[in-house]
Structure 1
Amino acid sequence: MHTKRTRLDRQSLLIGLLIVAAAVLAVAAVARTKAAAPDGWVQVNAQVEQAIKPFEHDEPDRSASEKPPASEAAPIVEKQTATALPAKEQKSQPTARTGSADAAGSGKIDINHATAAELDALPGIGAAKAKSIVDDREKNGPFRSADDLLRVKGIGPKLLDKMKSFIVVQQ
Structure 2
Amino acid sequence: MGYGGSLGFALLCWVVSGVTCYNPWDFSRSDSAIWRPTPRAEPPRRRAHVPSLAQPYPWAWVDASQLRAVSPLQPVMLQCEEAQMVITVHRDLFGMGRLIKAADLSLGPAACRSTSLNAVENMVIFVAGLHECGSTLQMTPDSLVYSTSLNYNPTPASNPVILRTNPAVIPIECHYPR
| TM-score calculated relative to the size of structure 1 | 0.25
Looking at secondary structure, tell me which structure has more strand per residue: 2
Looking at secondary structure, tell me which structure has more helix per residue: 1
- State the structure with more CA Rg: 1
| TM-score calculated relative to the size of structure 2 | 0.25
